[in-house]
Amino acid sequence: MKAMIVGGGISGLTMALSLNQVGIPAVVYESVRTVTPLGVGINLQPNAVRELTELGLGDRVAGVATATQALAFFNKFGQPVWREPRGRAAGFHWPQYSIHRGKLQLLLAEAVRERLGPDSLRPGHHFLRSEERGGKVAARFEDRIGGGTVEDAADILIGADGIHSAVRRQLYPGEGEPNFAGQILWRAAMPAAPFLGGATMAIAGHFHQRAVLYPIGPAADGSDKMLTNWIAQMTVATAAPPREDWNRKVDKERFFDAFRDWRFDWLDLPQLIADTAEIFEFPLVDRHPVDRWSFSRVTLIGDAAHPMQPTGSQAGSQAIVDARILTAELMASSDPIEALHRYDQKRRPTMNDVTLRNRNLGPEAALQLAEERAPQGFKHIEEVIPRAELEQISRSFQIAAGLDPAMLNDRPSFVAPR
């Protein structure tokens, strides 16, 4: 069997490494000409860290990441709403990591070239179309480096090319642009003094305005500061920016006034924003769940399959799990078409559920309850939201996302670990 993978991001590179682990050759076609460390911070949940560890990458990831110990919610005044342990502190056998997305992608790309060979990752090749031919799937790519087009064929084609997936567009030609949720995110990463112990992911605010902050590694200048990922997010009355303007640099004055008073005893957010040199703007988007990912010899993984809002820090982690479950199904069946169908039936309902939960704030729903029930703040959160209700919000999302410690720790490996 041979696989073609469209997309050299986290999902596509993990897919290639996972297939290589079980002896299935794969080639990754990436649209951009050069794989560079773009982006800011993401979180890898223990379910994803387990899979990377079983791929033999645990030590490499640990070397460029911060092990997150806690998740803490606060209202817009900085008053504590909920706090829970994360990673090993929560009883998982694997940590939760906060990591620079670009560093993770480069780490995976390096591992692909080492294990599959230097020609296994082919940048500058943009997917155009595919068709079945002679018991194979043939794909045509625009060669953005050498010019012209190239064609390749394999037993299966895996679309891992993100929220604007060209593979998905061929399967769903009338789908259109991603669904805009009416909110804008302003994101950055900069050296800052540690807060809340130096290993906490903090989320403050409510549905229409909130801030997310977490450290993703030591500062490059050798000081005691941490490279801190921060997000300011707000509901806006404008249309989504065109795709060409995603990830563009903007001036802090676009949103600074709305967060001017967010000075807490554990963080001075206005000062953090003011000290940041480069800020990037993103729309909050996802796509509506679909009722099928696999079409004969073609399937989807990661953001190409289930592009979701970043609530709950799930997108990157679930993309890694996608790759491992698909690999397991390919090992379990001699018929690749049947394997892709079984992967679809097993994985899609769960991810569709998580996508819809994220639209309703997922585990962050407690923040909106605090805002609705106590918009002027509170003395004790239990007088506003009973602890049992807070626990239920957290527990329900953990189970849906596969983040129950006992369930994750005790289940067999999807693929035999290295």
The CA-based dihedral angle spanning residues 179, 180, 181, 186, taken in that order and rounded to the nearest 10 degrees: 140
pLDDT for position 324: 98
305 lies in some domain: yes
pLDDT tops 70 at residue 370? yes
276 to 73, 271, 289: CA distances (angstroms): 23, 9, 36
Neighbours of 382 (CB within 10 A): 12
Calpha distance 313→317 (Å, rounded): 8
The predicted pLDDT at position 313 comes to 75
Domain that holds residue 350: 3-66+97-177+288-362
Scanning the structure block, which residue is given the tokens 């690749």? 336
Question: What is the average pLDDT across 391-415?
Answer: 89
Question: Who wins on pLDDT, 86 or 242?
Answer: 86
Tens digits of residue pLDDT in 133-190: 999 999 999 999 999 999 999 999 999 999 999 999 999 999 999 999 999 999 999 9
Band (pLDDT 50/70/90 cuts) for residue 342 is very high
Alpha-carbon distance of 292 to 168, in angstroms, equals 11
User: Please, what is the angle between helix 336-359 and helix 387-400, to 10°?
Assistant: 160
Is 12 within the bounds of a domain? yes
Which whole number is the average pLDDT over 118-137? 96
Please provide the average confidence, as pLDDT, over all residues in the chain.
94
Q: How many CB atoms lie within 10 A of CB 352?
A: 17
The verdict on pTM exceeding 0.75 is: yes
Residue 328's domain is classified under what CATH number? 3.50.50.60
**Which of 199, 231, 233, 228 shows the shortest CA–CA distance to 216?**
228
- Number of structural domains, the chain? 1
On the question of pLDDT at 39 being above 80, the answer is no
Q: What is the pLDDT of residues 227-265, one digit of tens each?
A: 999 999 999 998 888 887 777 889 999 999 999 999 999
Residue 40 lies in a domain: yes
**pLDDT value at position 401?**
75
Residues 288-308 have pLDDT tens digits of 999 999 999 999 999 999 999
Average pLDDT over residues 14-22: 98
Distance, CA of 73 to CA of 206 (rounded, Å): 10
- The predicted structure's pLDDT at residue 256: 96
The Cα–Cα gap between 201 and 214 comes to 5
Question: 80 in a domain, yes or no?
Answer: no
- Angle between helical axes of 315-332 and 46-54 (0-180°, round to 10): 50
| pLDDT at 210 exceeding the cut of 80 | yes
Q: What is the pLDDT of residue 418?
A: 63
Residue 202: pLDDT band with limits 50, 70, 90:
very high
User: What is the Cα–Cα distance from 47 to 318, expressed in whole angstroms?
Assistant: 8
How does residue 402 score in pLDDT terms, banded at 50, 70 and 90? confident
Q: Domain for residue 158, yes or no?
A: yes
Amino acid at residue number 46: P
pLDDT at 164: 95
Minimal CA–CA distance to 131: which of 162, 153, 160?
A: 153
Mean pLDDT across the stretch 89-113?
A: 95
124-138 burial, b at 16+ Cβ within 10 Å, e below that, comes to: bbbbeebeeeeebbb
- Provide, rounded to the nearest whole percent, the portion of the chain with pLDDT above 70: 99
Residue 115: C-alpha distances to residues 31, 56, 196 (Å): 21, 11, 40
Tokens of 354: 């998580």
169 in any annotated domain: yes
If DSSP states are collapsed to H, E and C, what string results for the chain? CCEEEECCCHHHHHHHHHHHHCCCCEEEECCCCCCCCCCCEEEECHHHHHHHHHCCCHHHHHCCEEEECEEEEECCCCCEEEEEECHHHHCCCCCEEEEEHHHHHHHHHHHHHHHHCHHHEECCEEEEEEEEECCEEEEEEEECCCCCEEEEEECEEEECCCCCCHHHHHHCCCCCCCEEEEEEEEEEEEEECCCHHHCEEEEEEECCEEEEEEEEEECCCCCCCEEEEEEEEEECCCCCCCHHHCCEEECHHHCHHHHCCCECCCCEHHHHHHCCCCEEEEEEEECCCCCCCCECCEEECHHHCCCCCCCCCCHHHHHHHHHHHHHHHHHHCCCHHHHHHHHHHHHHHHHHHHHHHHHCCHHHHHHHHHHHHCCCCCCCHHHCCCHHHHHHHHHHHHHHCCCCHHHHHHCCCCCCCC
For residue 223, the model assigns a pLDDT of 84
Q: Is residue 87 part of a domain?
A: no
Q: Confirm if 364 and 396 have CB atoms less than 8 A apart.
A: no
d(CA 236, CA 281): 13
| Nearest Cα residue to 71 out of 94, 49, 102, 98 | 98
